[in-house]
Structure 1
Amino acid sequence: MIHNNYFQLLGLVILSVIVTTSCEREVSDDAALATYPTNGQIFTDAPVGLTDEFFISFDPAGGANVNGFGTDDSEAYQGTTSIKIDVPDPNDPDGGFIGGIFRDRGEGRNLTGYDALTFWAKGSTTAVIEAGFGSDFIDDTYRATTDIQLSTGWKKYIIPIPDPSKLVQERGMFTFAAGTQSTNGLGYAIWIDEIKFENLGTVAQPRPRIENGDNSFAQTFTGGNLQVEGLTQTFSTTQGDVTTNVTPNYFEFSSSDASVATVSELGKVDVVGSGTAEITATLGGEEAAGSLVVESLGDFFSAPAPTRDPQSVISLFSNAYQDRPVDFFNGFYAPFQTTTSSDFTIQGDDVLYYLNFNFVGIEFNRGVSTINASLATHLHFDIFIPVDPPVNTGLRIDLVDFGADDSFAGGDDTVISQGFTSGFVSGEWISIDFNITGLNPRTNLGQIILADFAGRTPPSEFYVDNIYFYREDGGNINPE
């Protein structure tokens, strides 16, 4: 507090403090907003207020090509210069895609007075790329992106801001990512010009969504964690509807029963008790379509902790061991598979959850290496059935070796199968140990199938934990 010695009366002192404090607060708030420039220009013949790097690439370790970005003085929508991006083919040794960000060189910009990011672009061929803003490689707090369809002529693109009031101090001015998925692997060129934030006044009819607009359902236990997903915002524009994929920070989340489940500002759901709670959200005051209904069954009892020596185990899914890489635990094989997944984590224990079960595939052969388990004797599963299984139920496990060519259906694949029919009761963990010594040589294992056995109806839903190969005698499972 600043004392004014010239005031002799206490009443005047108090009045002065009140007035001074009020004025200081108003000036401070206005000054804070004024600290950040409101310039909406990003690129107009040259970068406007961006970092010296201008273009900051995605990580080359992730396959990003850093060599295809530049400017072109012979091609522009307006003025003399445009951005030119050469999209590499997938086998380019320097990286199979290109992308990155433009970042404000200062502390950020106040973009609350704008309703859209706009730019002009064209391609040497028609292609689909991702573009947006809000990515600064620091927090990416208000990232928003959408896929755009390029044409071979200059076209203006509009990407609405999901909620302009959030962008008080935004550093992520522009982001893009381009590959050859839409061009059958053929590289191409992109030109971009006149990138700016604008207040168009024609962006209307906000339609936010969570869970992709669906009323999703998840069954879990006390201590479980879930994430609200499928977050989008849609606006009508002069070019039709534009939908952006957005970060949770744009939304305000709420739970219908905080004694069952709470939800953070980032859409993380913590299950704290038994019962049912509905997670909903708003964006910019608009109620989002979709919801996540969480049913908590109360306390969860984890599968028995594995006790085998890690040197005798090759693990695919277990918190007790170091897991080998896996492509997926549910292949969603269309059109015949009905099995869905609702995997969950309870107090640090990851659990697979299969519902609507008819069969499911676990693969480790596409983007990861097959497994040499020539010294393994068994394949282990722990299974928990939460509801009463069908009478006379059963489950079959197939293990597939891809053979010397290390590829699916290469002509030398071999399979071993075994059916299991006993011990399938609800409410307790069941351990399955599948003797795989009849499959030889077990040097290129790449797939596990769970399915019905001999016409018996399998359980409609079950949890799975601790999937691993092991050597029964406890010896080293890894070949020399």
Structure 2
Amino acid sequence: MKNKTSTNYYFVTQILIAFLLVFSSCERDISEDAVEATYPRIADIFTDNFVGMGADFIKFYEGSNFESFTIDRTQGYQSNTSIKINVPNASNPNGNYAGGIFMIDGVGRNLTGFNALTLWVKASRGVTIDQIGFGEDFGENKYMATLLNVDVDTGWSKVIIPFPDPSKLTNERGVFRYALGTQGTSGEAYSLWIDEIKFEKIETILQMQSSIEAGNNTEINTYQGTTNQVRGMQTVFNMPNATNLVVMCSPSYFEFVSSNPSIATVNSTGSISTLNQGIAVITASFNGNETVGSVTINSLGAFSFAPTPTRPSSQVISIFSNAYPNVPVNYFNGYWAPWQTTLSADFTVNNDNILHYTIFNFVGIEFSNPTVNATNMTHFHADFYFPGPIAPGRELRIIIVDFGANGVFGGGDDTRHSTTFLAPTLVSQNWVSIDIPFSAMPNLQSRSNLAQIIFEGGDNSSLYVDNIYFYNN
């Protein structure tokens, strides 16, 4: 079985910082707040008179600069206290983005009496909050709701995050989440202030259409034994200011159904399992109402696997393979705008992970944190599969990039080498194993800080890739 390393930046390091800001000057009758003895109904998360009750810890995302979070005792929306997030500059060695969650340590809150999370924000300059919402608890994250790309100016403004379905929020532990990074061409640091975080019941919020796949009818050509994921779950709300607001939702708010369960099934998390050859259409409903969008599964039958690597692990540095432990990878698709068209539609067949590039013209894989020292390796290897026909003159260029002695991109000492392959090496509907000796890469002046692999020469068709590694022959 392979055991590939995922590089998604939202996994937690479990850094806990005691928040425990003292609640003062506010006596409450517990019977007024409790819907059930174990699941209290409490609106406030961070307010002037009621700070952090039941939301006693902030946990940071992996890679987040944990020094960015502070309490400002000099200013707030209606007082002299607020949360201040100092987003570092682009070159900060401790990380250049800030992100974390407020999580209740223990029994969660019953939020069925509310329909929105609200907060007041301002910034030291005009910026955009990448993500802000609630429902993440580093567990199931079952009922997350998120706003993307929220604009913030230098004056206080109110942000409202509607609940997709309040009836499901009977025991919610992840009461607030945020993620934002360095912005602008200069990469300068900036500050964000947040105050009056609480749950509210706002009668003038009107729920409208919900959708999957962002409202599109998508098609996936896949194989027996694969797993795919329904994506783009969202619901639209008409807000008190008469504008429409899109809220991204977790799959658990939806009920999914397959038109042909003998071909493909779908579970409550939106995971699609393809069982046999044929066609099945995945649709969904939200709170009893049909949603917009669908996923059509075109199963092509049994999958042809790449050759299983047989080299000993001691002679391999693996970038992507289930046969070996993999080094940390920043990404398998850098989406290098503006010329790249390549999208990713990676899939898994019988626990074997496959990189799937669609609309392929070129794609960059980066593993720069840390870079790879391959001075003891002699070759590069990768397996490629072209599911469509090979057009006359079709090329595949493989470019290996070293970041030089300073180990950073663009430092003046980067080197690279490009190797081009044509038919008859490239064939359709068969795995092509390519091995390139480093001795045949004269333009690669060093391999002590290898950091990128680039595939070029696509004709906007599809390409599967597996078993990317360096080895000593």
TM-score by length of 1: 0.79
> Given that residues 50 and 102 in structure 1 are in contact (C-alpha distance below 8 angstroms), is that contact kept between their aligned partners in structure 2?
no
C-alpha separation in 2, matches of 1:381 and 1:97: 33
Partner of 1:379: 380
Partner of 1:232: 234
Q: Identify if the C-alpha distance between structure 1 residues 462 and 165 changes in structure 2 by more than 3 Å, giving closer, same or farther.
A: same
C-alpha separation in 2, matches of 1:215 and 1:243: 18
Partner of 1:115: 115
C-alpha separation in 1, matches of 2:106 and 2:460: 59
Partner of 1:325: 328
Partner of 2:147: 146
> Given that residues 101 and 136 in structure 1 are in contact (C-alpha distance below 8 angstroms), is that contact kept between their aligned partners in structure 2?
yes
Q: Identify if the C-alpha distance between structure 1 residues 35 and 351 changes in structure 2 by more than 3 Å, giving closer, same or farther.
A: closer
Quick check: 382-391 or 155-164, which moved more?
Answer: 382-391
Q: Identify if the C-alpha distance between structure 1 residues 333 and 311 changes in structure 2 by more than 3 Å, giving closer, same or farther.
A: same
C-alpha separation in 2, matches of 1:56 and 1:329: 30
Q: 1:386-409: CA deviations, max 9, x gaps?
A: 233235644333333444454545
C-alpha separation in 1, matches of 2:342 and 2:158: 43
> Given that residues 87 and 178 in structure 1 are in contact (C-alpha distance below 8 angstroms), is that contact kept between their aligned partners in structure 2?
no
Q: Which runs of 5+ in 2 are unaligned?
A: 1-33
Alignment of structure 1 residues 302-341 onto 2, 5 Å: 302-341=305-344
Asked whether 1:127 is paired with 2:127, we answer: yes
Q: Identify if the C-alpha distance between structure 1 residues 442 and 35 changes in structure 2 by more than 3 Å, giving closer, same or farther.
A: closer
Asked whether 1:451 is paired with 2:452, we answer: no
**CA-CA distance at 1:117 after TM superposition:** 1.8
Partner of 1:181: 183
Q: 1:41-66: CA deviations, max 9, x gaps?
A: 43442336723x6342325x633425
Q: The residue matched to 1:386 in structure 2 has which SS?
A: coil
Supply the RMSD in Å over aligned alpha carbons: 3.1
C-alpha separation in 1, matches of 2:49 and 2:452: 53
| 2:295 aligned residue (292, 296, 303) | 292
**CA-CA distance at 1:112 after TM superposition:** 2.0
Q: The residue matched to 1:292 in structure 2 has which SS?
A: strand
> Given that residues 110 and 167 in structure 1 are in contact (C-alpha distance below 8 angstroms), is that contact kept between their aligned partners in structure 2?
yes
Q: Identify if the C-alpha distance between structure 1 residues 48 and 169 changes in structure 2 by more than 3 Å, giving closer, same or farther.
A: farther
C-alpha separation in 1, matches of 2:178 and 2:331: 28
> Given that residues 316 and 326 in structure 1 are in contact (C-alpha distance below 8 angstroms), is that contact kept between their aligned partners in structure 2?
yes
C-alpha separation in 2, matches of 1:374 and 1:54: 49
Q: The residue matched to 2:360 in structure 1 has which SS?
A: coil
C-alpha separation in 1, matches of 2:414 and 2:51: 60
Asked whether 1:242 is paired with 2:241, we answer: no
Q: Identify if the C-alpha distance between structure 1 residues 314 and 181 changes in structure 2 by more than 3 Å, giving closer, same or farther.
A: same
C-alpha separation in 1, matches of 2:105 and 2:400: 55
Q: The residue matched to 1:356 in structure 2 has which SS?
A: strand
> Given that residues 403 and 413 in structure 1 are in contact (C-alpha distance below 8 angstroms), is that contact kept between their aligned partners in structure 2?
yes
Partner of 2:400: 399
> Given that residues 405 and 413 in structure 2 are in contact (C-alpha distance below 8 angstroms), is that contact kept between their aligned partners in structure 1?
no
C-alpha separation in 1, matches of 2:231 and 2:323: 28
Q: The residue matched to 1:461 in structure 2 has which SS?
A: strand
Alignment of structure 1 residues 265-284 onto 2, 5 Å: 265-284=268-287
C-alpha separation in 2, matches of 1:99 and 1:462: 34
Q: 1:334-372: CA deviations, max 9, x gaps?
A: 33333333221111111122333333333334x441x33
C-alpha separation in 2, matches of 1:402 and 1:49: 46
**CA-CA distance at 1:104 after TM superposition:** 4.9
Amino acid at match of 2:397: R
C-alpha separation in 1, matches of 2:172 and 2:133: 13
Partner of 1:254: 257
C-alpha separation in 2, matches of 1:235 and 1:184: 34
Asked whether 1:85 is paired with 2:84, we answer: yes
**CA-CA distance at 1:294 after TM superposition:** 1.6
**CA-CA distance at 1:32 after TM superposition:** 8.2
C-alpha separation in 2, matches of 1:413 and 1:178: 33
Residue correspondences, number = 431
Partner of 2:16: none
Q: The residue matched to 1:304 in structure 2 has which SS?
A: coil
Q: The residue matched to 2:208 in structure 1 has which SS?
A: coil
Asked whether 1:469 is paired with 2:456, we answer: no
Q: Identify if the C-alpha distance between structure 1 residues 340 and 111 changes in structure 2 by more than 3 Å, giving closer, same or farther.
A: closer
C-alpha separation in 2, matches of 1:85 and 1:442: 44
C-alpha separation in 2, matches of 1:223 and 1:211: 22
Alignment of structure 1 residues 398-417 onto 2, 5 Å: 398-408=399-409, 410=412, 413-417=415-419
Q: The residue matched to 2:440 in structure 1 has which SS?
A: coil
Q: Identify if the C-alpha distance between structure 1 residues 33 and 388 changes in structure 2 by more than 3 Å, giving closer, same or farther.
A: same
> Given that residues 65 and 96 in structure 1 are in contact (C-alpha distance below 8 angstroms), is that contact kept between their aligned partners in structure 2?
no
Q: Identify if the C-alpha distance between structure 1 residues 372 and 86 changes in structure 2 by more than 3 Å, giving closer, same or farther.
A: closer
Amino acid at match of 1:229: R
Q: Identify if the C-alpha distance between structure 1 residues 459 and 377 changes in structure 2 by more than 3 Å, giving closer, same or farther.
A: farther
Partner of 1:5: none
> Given that residues 63 and 97 in structure 2 are in contact (C-alpha distance below 8 angstroms), is that contact kept between their aligned partners in structure 1?
no
Q: 1:280-308: CA deviations, max 9, x gaps?
A: 22222333332222211111121111112
C-alpha separation in 2, matches of 1:351 and 1:263: 20
Partner of 1:343: 346
Q: Identify if the C-alpha distance between structure 1 residues 185 and 278 changes in structure 2 by more than 3 Å, giving closer, same or farther.
A: farther
TM-score by length of 2: 0.80
Partner of 2:355: 352
**Identity rate, percent:** 42
